[in-house]
Structures are given as C-alpha cells and as structure tokens.
Structure 1
Amino acid sequence: MAALLKIGHRGAKGHVAENTLASFEKALEMGVDGIELDVHVCATGELVVIHDFTVDRTTNGTGEVNKMTLAELKHLVVDGHYEIPLLSEVMTLCKGRCFVNIEMKGRHTAQPVSIFMEHLVNEEGWSYDDFIVSSFQREELLIMNEINKNIPLGVLTQASVTQAWEWAQEFSAKAIHPHYSLLTESNVKKAQQAGLKVHTWTINDKEDIERIKGYNVDGIITDFPELL
C-alpha cells in the first residue's frame, strides 16, 4: 500500500485565506504531498483560482467571477491583503514541490484547463503525473476526456460513491473524490480493486481522520495538514 497522500484543501485553509499563494505556500511548508484548488474562467479568458462563482464571500468586492476581467479581479483584496491568483502563478509556486489537484468549478473550464495543462507538459517540464483535474460536473469531465485522454481525471461526489464509480468508468478517470461521510472500508476497497485511487475530502477532525485512514484511502484533503 502506497503512503497516504496529504493534500491541503485550498492550500492550508485552516491557517491562511483559502486559494491564495500564501495559503499554498503555508501548505507546502507544512509538508503536504499535494494541494487542492478551484478554477474559474474570468471574462478575459484567464484561469483564476477562486472557489465560489462570485467574489462576494472571499474578497472586498462583489460580482460574478466569469463576468469580471482579470484586471478587475486582481484589484480585489482577499482577507485584507491577498489577491486572487492565476492558475499559472500557483503552478509556478508548486513546480517540483508537490502535485496539484485542480477542481474545475466554473462552466466551460475544460477546454482552457486542457490547453494550459498541455502547455505545462510540453513547454514547462511538467508530467501528467504531477496533477489531477477533478470536478463534480459531468459535462466538464466528459469534455476533458474527449479533448485530452492523457489528463488524469478525478470524479468528485457529495452524494454517491456508486455514481462516482460509474462516471469514473465512463471517463477513464484515475480517481474518485468522495466526501468522507460516504466512505466504508468495503467501498474503498472495491474502488481500489477496480484500479481507482480514492482521495477523500474535507476531513478536519482528528478522530475522523484516524477512522478514514483505517480504510486505507489513497489521499486525504484537509484544511489542517498538520493533522495528517
């Protein structure tokens, strides 16, 4: 059994403002094997790292991410003194230091993410083993699988391990990413026997972490990397 992958949720969300370069750096300092982040396409076409479909919760601004230009987004302030990073900025920070789990949040993200990941592999010295692209959205996973079979996919689910499993088979995904409350020792084992990795989210309680570790999952996503 391979060692458990320690994955920082939106960086080290429990310590530093989520999805900021400072949060990703903090997670790296805490010894994570990987980081998880969320991407949307903004109005000018760039891939930006932010969780919500609007900027209202995490910044001093208001509006929908996909209707704002990069310049407008960069002008916003996250938690007093951080800015919304580009996906390219995060990948530069993480290169050679950890793998990156890129969650496609917004619609129409598959094509630009695919183009960018191909650029990283072909021009920047990345390997397809250095990242995984995940989503709850069936359409984005389907498009990504059609565009580039080399990009490893993870199927996110908050509802059903069985559904994630079925989608994973359909899209030749590498992993399923179920919420930890859905996991049992048997469904984890079944998924792994079918060749799927199981990366679960978001576990922030020490007792829950120890229980899920006992199921021999492949990776745990947490706001508090030090608990792993």
Structure 2
Amino acid sequence: PCSQYGTTVATDLADSLRGKPRYVRTALARNQLAVQSFETEDARTFHTAQPDIPIGILDADRPTDTELTELSQWADQINPQHTVTDQTLVDRVHQLGMDINVWTVDEPGAIRTMTGLGVDGIITDYPQTLTQR
C-alpha cells in the first residue's frame, strides 16, 4: 500500500525540482538527472508531476514480463538487484525501450559480468573499482 508519506515525498520532490528550472534543464541536457524509487506508486506520482525527468524503478526481485511491459508505458529505467539480472532480462528491458542499471555491484567479477551483459549503468559503493582493470 502506498503511504501518504511516500506520496508526499514524491510530490514534494517534484515541487522542489519545479522551483529549480535552470538546474533541471542543465542536468537533463547533461544526462545527470534521474529519480528512482523502490515504491512504484511513488515513482508514478513523481512521473505524473515531472514527466520530463527520467524515472527508474528499483527492484530487489526480478520483475515479471507483465510488470516490465506495464512499466515500459511510463518508466525510463528498470534497476534490479544484480543478483537477479541475466542476459534475458537485459535484452527484454532494452527491447521495451528502457535502460537497465543494476545494484549494488561491488565485486570486480560481478562488475565484469554485468558489463558483459550490456547493462546501461552500475550502482556501486566502490566507483573506483569501475576504472581498475
């Protein structure tokens, strides 16, 4: 269930960003702004208020194909836990026109595996690992 607190966070963030149009324009032009949430309804609320800002759905579980198809109607990114991500999921997310960013990938071997699958982004606690070979 969507809490009033969650909806308030989504609308407050949308309102706050609406008050910073120069920042939003610049960040969007540089692909430096996206909003993501584990709460799908909060993400949808934010997207309704700020449709130009990319929205990502965080998920600890592997989303079903039905969920992916529904989310592709309005979400820009599917961001699953890396442990539930495989080539089939990456390919399907891309086929539906969305990006896929995996989390939290800290081990060099897992980073190489995810990179090999063609994910669009890696969420890590150790970004320096991404530049080490």
TM value normalised by structure 2: 0.81
Read off the aligned partner of 1:113 and give its amino acid letter: L
Do the aligned partners of 1:177 and 1:201 also contact (CA within 8 Å) in 2?
Answer: yes
Q: Does 1:113 align with 2:1?
A: no
Rg larger in structure: 1
Read off the aligned partner of 1:189 and give its amino acid letter: D
> Which residues in structure 2 correspond to 1:143-158 (within 5 Å)?
143-158=45-60
Q: Distance in 1 between matches of 2:57 and 2:109?
A: 25
SS in 2 for 1:130: coil
Q: Distance in 2 between matches of 1:176 and 1:110?
A: 18
Q: Does 1:205 align with 2:98?
A: no
Instruction: Note the residue ranges of structure 1 that are not aligned, 5 or more in a row.
Output: 1-105
Instruction: Note the residue ranges of structure 2 that are not aligned, 5 or more in a row.
Output: none
Do the aligned partners of 1:155 and 1:175 also contact (CA within 8 Å) in 2?
Answer: yes
- 1:207/1:164 Cα in 2 relative to 1: closer, same or farther (>3 Å)? farther
Q: Does 1:165 align with 2:68?
A: yes
Q: Does 1:136 align with 2:38?
A: yes
Aligned residue for 1:34? none
Displacement, 1:164? 5.4
Q: Distance in 2 between matches of 1:180 and 1:145?
A: 25
Aligned residue for 1:175? 77
Q: Distance in 2 between matches of 1:202 and 1:217?
A: 13
> Which residues in structure 2 correspond to 1:52-131 (within 5 Å)?
107=6, 108-120=8-20, 122-124=21-23, 126-128=26-28, 129-131=31-33
Read off the aligned partner of 2:71 and give its amino acid letter: A
- 1:154/1:131 Cα in 2 relative to 1: closer, same or farther (>3 Å)? same
More helix by share: 2
Q: Which structure has the higher relative contact order (CA within 8 Å, separation 6+)? A: 1
Q: Distance in 1 between matches of 2:53 and 2:9?
A: 14
Displacement, 1:168? 2.1
Percent identical = 24
SS in 2 for 1:222: coil
Displacement, 1:189? 1.1
Do the aligned partners of 1:192 and 1:198 also contact (CA within 8 Å) in 2?
Answer: yes
Do the aligned partners of 1:157 and 1:164 also contact (CA within 8 Å) in 2?
Answer: no
Read off the aligned partner of 1:118 and give its amino acid letter: R
Displacement, 1:116? 1.7
- 1:166/1:136 Cα in 2 relative to 1: closer, same or farther (>3 Å)? farther
Read off the aligned partner of 1:199 and give its amino acid letter: N
Read off the aligned partner of 1:168 and give its amino acid letter: L
